[in-house]
Structure 1
Amino acid sequence: MPISGTTDGRLRCVLPFKAAAVEVGPLRHTAARQLARWGMPAVTDEAEVIVTELATNVVKHVGDGAAATLVLEWKGDRLRLEVHDRSPALPSAKKAEHDDECGRGLHLVAGLATDWGVLLTAVGKAVWCEIPLGLGMDCRRIERAVQALERYQSAEDAPRRQGRSREASLDESAVELIADLLHWTAARGHDPDDFLDRAQMYYEGEADAA
């Protein structure tokens, strides 16, 4: 089950998985859904390729059925992907032979990412890479909105949302957050419709300028 949250301005999602060929596709799709939830479709294709390569390397070089974890982290203008496993053996694209599939996979990851590397952890290692997001104002606004919704959801009654998809839950939270803001404006003696009109005009003005 995905574990997501906001820490120090970072959006973070942890996806445990079992290293098996049949698990790679579902893991890739889950990562893509999380990126869509964060509002970053522009890097989904690159991220899906990287997730596929890193997860496949765990299957081939750590072992079928091994426990592993994918971590997605968004901070500032970069998306960081990490795959953790319990093997201390460090892969190397530079040292890999030309016909080695792990080496080819890491060369592909290196070509798509701004930076990448391998870190030893307390229980094994983590292969990480970072993808540039090219954030403009629209993306920064989306980032702030997602952070606000993550905090808003954490303060809500979680059991009430059980059985619903993460996308449906996020959509419902967005509507409820807007409704709460309208209640807030009314409590301060303002006209909620006026605030909606102003927000709509602001949004349309920025969209036209984009």
Structure 2
Amino acid sequence: MRSDAYEVHVLLQDLDGGSPRWWRERSGAGPPRTVLELHVPPRRGAVWIARHWACDRARESAVPDESLPDIELLTSELVANAIVHGPGGEVEVRFSVDSDCVRVEVSDTSAGRPQVRRPDPGTPGGQGLRLVSMLATEWGHGRRAGRTGNTVWFTLSI
């Protein structure tokens, strides 16, 4: 059986001060959409890895430079939320692009539902999903199909 999918192994070092770990990046290509997937550990350092990974994939897909800061910020917010509010399982980041849209999905193993909070303006944090709702063309969330957890996603028109 032939498959167009391939797997690339990615070395992530010093995410938690421990030993290096290998994680995988999956890719399935096919017109008109390319979907790439990255699995990262539930460590704060994974936010940096995920946002740069998403921007690198966008650049490789010829996404206009003016869209890159929003992709970077929104990916950071979703991955940080998955790490902070999730129960500690692996976080999955999926990037896809077609002719007019970028989509990033972040999945975790949390049983709770994501919520847009309205914290006091003087309170640090709690603004992640508000930023996503303000900057994304569309966004949403749902339960992971056939597995425990949530997927939160956003799209940006390009």
Class of the TM-score when normalised by the shorter of the 2 chains:
0.7 to 0.9
23, 26, 30: which one aligns with 2:53? 30
1 or 2, which has the higher helix percentage? 1
Structure 2 counterpart of 1:45, one-letter code:
P
Aligned-pair CA distance for 1:8: 5.2
26, 44, 55: which one aligns with 2:68? 44
Residue matched to 1:16: 39
Verify the 8 A CA contact 1:57 1:102 in the aligned structure 2.
Answer: no
2:128 is the alignment partner of 1:105: yes
1 or 2, which has the higher strand percentage? 2
Aligned-pair CA distance for 1:6: 1.9
The C-alpha deviation readout for 1:113-166, integer Å capped at 9, x for no partner, is: 011111111221100111010xxxxxxxxxxxxxxxxxxxxxxxxxxxxxxxxx
Q: 1:49 to 1:4 in 2, by over 3 A?
A: same
Percent identical residues = 27
Instruction: Give me the whole-angstrom Cα distance separating, in 2, the residues matched to 1:35 and 1:76.
Output: 12
- For the aligned residue pairs, the C-alpha RMSD in angstroms reads 1.8
Aligned-pair CA distance for 1:88: 2.7
Q: 1:61 to 1:73 in 2, by over 3 A?
A: same
Q: 1:101 to 1:92 in 2, by over 3 A?
A: farther
Residue matched to 1:57: 81
**Per the alignment, in what secondary structure is the counterpart of residue 110 of structure 1?**
helix
Aligned-pair CA distance for 1:39: 1.2
Verify the 8 A CA contact 2:83 2:91 in the aligned structure 1.
Answer: no
Q: 1:8 to 1:103 in 2, by over 3 A?
A: farther
Instruction: Give me the whole-angstrom Cα distance separating, in 1, the residues matched to 2:99 and 2:127.
Output: 30
Instruction: Give me the whole-angstrom Cα distance separating, in 2, the residues matched to 1:83 and 1:48.
Output: 13
TM-score, normalised relative to structure 2 = 0.75
Aligned-pair CA distance for 1:75: 2.1
Give 1 or 2 for the bigger CA radius of gyration.
1
Instruction: Give me the whole-angstrom Cα distance separating, in 2, the residues matched to 1:61 and 1:89.
Output: 9
Q: Which moved more, 1:30-39 or 1:2-11?
A: 2-11
Structure 1 counterpart of 2:108, one-letter code:
D
TM-score, normalised relative to structure 1 = 0.57
For structure 1, list consecutive stretches of 5 or more residues without a partner in the other structure. 134-210
**Per the alignment, in what secondary structure is the counterpart of residue 50 of structure 2?**
helix
Structure 1 counterpart of 2:156, one-letter code:
I
Residue matched to 1:115: 138
RCO comparison, higher one (Cα < 8 Å, 6+): 2
Q: Which moved more, 1:101-110 or 1:120-129?
A: 101-110
Alignment size in residue pairs: 130
Instruction: Give me the whole-angstrom Cα distance separating, in 1, the residues matched to 2:142 and 2:124.
Output: 21
Instruction: Give me the whole-angstrom Cα distance separating, in 1, the residues matched to 2:133 and 2:86.
Output: 20
Instruction: Give me the whole-angstrom Cα distance separating, in 2, the residues matched to 1:114 and 1:104.
Output: 17
Instruction: Give me the whole-angstrom Cα distance separating, in 2, the residues matched to 1:102 and 1:84.
Output: 21
Instruction: Give me the whole-angstrom Cα distance separating, in 1, the residues matched to 2:78 and 2:151.
Output: 10
